[in-house]
DNA sequence: TGCCAGGTAAACA
DNA sequence: TGTTTACATGGC
């Protein structure tokens, strides 16, 4: 349950003890060409669209380590509905609902993770609360390096998303499924991703426009396996993308993108191996992660950037 | 320069 | 069920 205080122009999200804003900022700052938010002086700036209302928010921390959200730009205060939606968005984005104590309890006895939880204490899985954005990011990121993935995302957003200007800075709102569903492959190939990926993005957008793919459907009864099955049945979404989305958007802590090459490289680095681990070796190493595979993966990724 | 990149579908054994 | 290959482009 979201724990927050609404002061109209300013919202406070009360954070758990196992939360370190700077660790999360470090993750958010890993790319200099990220287009979905701006970070300046240890504060996050981002445009969020709720219904017809676009808000530009600033996220910082107070003396008690809580998150403070301020609404910039607007002359009139944001509506009550928007304030609640923004509070929910940020709550989800930082995964503040999660109790990390069991994860830390498990990880301190795990050879791979015990260093990670000391180095990155208070880090949470920074999410992608918007399902369409999460799916696009997953599909775009398949089989290309991360820097190029950020370039492709930026091209997609700048061509089909919406821009909100404020004090000389551009804030981008990710395209909605309806912005992409009516496109043809020819409209997307100019971004320089594979024809297949263009098809996948359009197909996913269509599914969402038709209401056949929603967060509610994937959350189901909280059953991870059913969500995974639904996602994998969609062309262009394999085990990696499905688990990636279940991890970053649906917030299943047991989602496990085991095919992730970044995870492989992180394990190789932490253990000082000469070659990347095999799937079998990873499964052995992950034996005790049950229920926390997503957090284990996310913490290990941090060694790479 | 050549290998690799936060994989997947489709073809084939 | 398991293995191989094309995909497209760019980063380093």
**Assigned domain for A166 exists:** no
Return d(Cα A32, Cα A53) in angstroms, integer: 28
Residues 6+ apart with CB under 8 A from A148: none
**Assigned domain for A218 exists:** yes
Nearest nucleotide to A264 (CA to C1') is B6
Residues A210 and A145 in one domain: yes
Judge if the beta carbon of A148 is closer than 7 A to nucleic acid strand C: yes
Write the CATH number for A199: 1.10.340.30
Write the CATH number for A23: 3.30.310.20
Judge if the beta carbon of A240 is closer than 7 A to nucleic acid strand B: yes
**What pLDDT was estimated at residue A261?**
97
**Assigned domain for A194 exists:** yes
Residues A147 and A224 in one domain: yes
Residues A116 and A106 in one domain: yes
C1' of B8 to CA of A75 (Å): 48
Judge if the beta carbon of A262 is closer than 7 A to nucleic acid strand B: yes
Return d(Cα A97, Cα A129) in angstroms, integer: 13
**Residue corresponding to tokens 């939880």:** A117
What distance lies between CA A222 and its chain's CA centroid?
19
Q: What is the DSSP string of A165-192?
A: EETTEEEEEPPPHHHHHT--HHHHHTT-
- The CB-side HSE value for A16 (13 A sphere, CA atoms) comes to 17
Return d(Cα A141, Cα A181) in angstroms, integer: 20
Query: Tens-of-pLDDT digits for all 305 residues of chain A?
Result: 999 999 999 999 999 999 999 999 999 999 999 999 999 999 999 999 999 999 999 999 999 999 999 999 877 889 999 999 999 999 999 999 999 999 999 999 999 999 999 999 999 999 999 999 999 999 999 999 999 999 999 999 999 999 999 999 999 999 999 999 999 999 999 999 999 999 999 999 999 999 999 999 999 888 999 999 999 999 999 999 999 999 999 999 999 999 999 999 999 999 999 999 999 999 999 999 999 999 999 999 999 98
Residues A213 and A242 in one domain: yes
Please enumerate, as own/partner, the contacts of A79-83 that have beta carbons within 8 Å and a separation of 24 or more. Answer: A79/A53, A80/A6, A81/A50, A81/A51, A82/A50, A82/A51, A82/A53, A82/A55, A83/A6, A83/A8, A83/A11
Write the CATH number for A263: 1.10.1670.40
C1' of C4 to CA of A185 (Å): 27
Residue A172, beta-bridge partner list? A163
Residues 6+ apart with CB under 8 A from A28: A34, A37, A39, A44, A126
**What pLDDT was estimated at residue A222?**
83
Residues A144 and A238 in one domain: yes
The answer to whether the CB of A176 falls within 8 A of the CB of A189 is no
What distance lies between CA A37 and its chain's CA centroid?
12
**What pLDDT was estimated at residue A221?**
80
CA nearest A101: which of A126, A119, A124? A124
Residues A214 and A111 in one domain: no
Judge if the beta carbon of A199 is closer than 7 A to nucleic acid strand C: no
Residues A56 and A150 in one domain: no
Number of domains making up chain A: 3
**What pLDDT was estimated at residue A109?**
97
**What pLDDT was estimated at residue A305?**
83
Chain B nucleotides covered by protein, CB below 7 Å: 4-10
Residues A208 and A274 in one domain: no
- Give the range of the structural domain holding residue A81, as residue numbers without chain letter: 4-97
Active site residues of A: 260
Judge if the beta carbon of A151 is closer than 7 A to nucleic acid strand C: yes
**Assigned domain for A293 exists:** yes
Return d(Cα A62, Cα A17) in angstroms, integer: 14
Domain boundary among A248, A273, A292: A248
**Assigned domain for A167 exists:** no
**What pLDDT was estimated at residue A216?**
97
Q: What is the DSSP string of A218-266?
A: HHTTS-HHHHHHHHHTSTT--HHHHHHHHHHTS--TT---TT-HHHHHH
Residues A116 and A64 in one domain: no
Residues A116 and A135 in one domain: no
C1' of C11 to CA of A148 (Å): 8
Please enumerate, as own/partner, the contacts of A221-224 that have beta carbons within 8 Å and a separation of 24 or more. Answer: A224/A252, A224/A254, A224/A255
**Assigned domain for A31 exists:** yes
Residues A117 and A264 in one domain: yes
- The CB-side HSE value for A97 (13 A sphere, CA atoms) comes to 14
Residues A301 and A290 in one domain: yes
**What pLDDT was estimated at residue A220?**
87
Return d(Cα A189, Cα A77) in angstroms, integer: 41
Give the end-to-end CA distance of chain A in Å, rounded to a whole number.
32
For the entire predicted model, the pTM comes to: 0.97
């Amino acid at each position: 349950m979201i724990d927050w205080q609404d002061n109209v122009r300013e919202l406070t999200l009360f954070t758990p003890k196992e939360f370190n804003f700077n660790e999360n900022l470090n993750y958010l700052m890993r790319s200099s060409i990220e287009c979905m938010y701006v970070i300046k002086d240890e504060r996050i700036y981002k445009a969020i669209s709720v219904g017809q209302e676009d808000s530009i928010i600033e996220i910082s921390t107070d003396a008690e380590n809580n998150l403070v959200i301020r609404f910039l730009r607007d002359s009139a205060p944001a509506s009550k509905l928007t304030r609640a939606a923004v509070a929910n968005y940020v709550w989800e984005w930082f995964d503040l609902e999660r109790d990390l104590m069991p994860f830390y309890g498990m990880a301190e006895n795990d050879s791979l993770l015990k260093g990670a939880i000391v180095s990155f204490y208070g880090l949470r899985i920074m999410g992608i609360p918007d399902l369409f954005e999460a799916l696009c990011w997953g599909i775009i990121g398949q089989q290309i390096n991360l820097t190029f993935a950020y370039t492709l995302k930026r091209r997609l957003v700048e061509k089909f998303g919406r821009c909100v200007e404020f004090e000389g800075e551009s804030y981008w709102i990710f395209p909605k499924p309806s912005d992409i569903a009516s496109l043809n492959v020819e409209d997307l190939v100019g971004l320089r991703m594979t024809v297949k990926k263009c098809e996948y993005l359009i197909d996913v957008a269509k599914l969402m426009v038709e209401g056949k793919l929603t967060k509610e459907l994937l959350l189901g009864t909280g059953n991870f396996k059913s969500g995974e099955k639904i996602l994998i049945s969609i062309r262009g979404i394999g085990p990696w993308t499905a688990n990636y989305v279940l991890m970053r958007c649906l917030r299943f802590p047991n989602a496990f993108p085991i095919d992730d090459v970044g995870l492989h490289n992180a394990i190789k680095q932490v253990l000082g191996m000469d070659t990347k681990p095999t799937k079998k070796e990873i499964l052995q190493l992950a034996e005790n992660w049950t229920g926390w595979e997503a957090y284990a993966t996310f913490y290990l990724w941090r060694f790479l950037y």
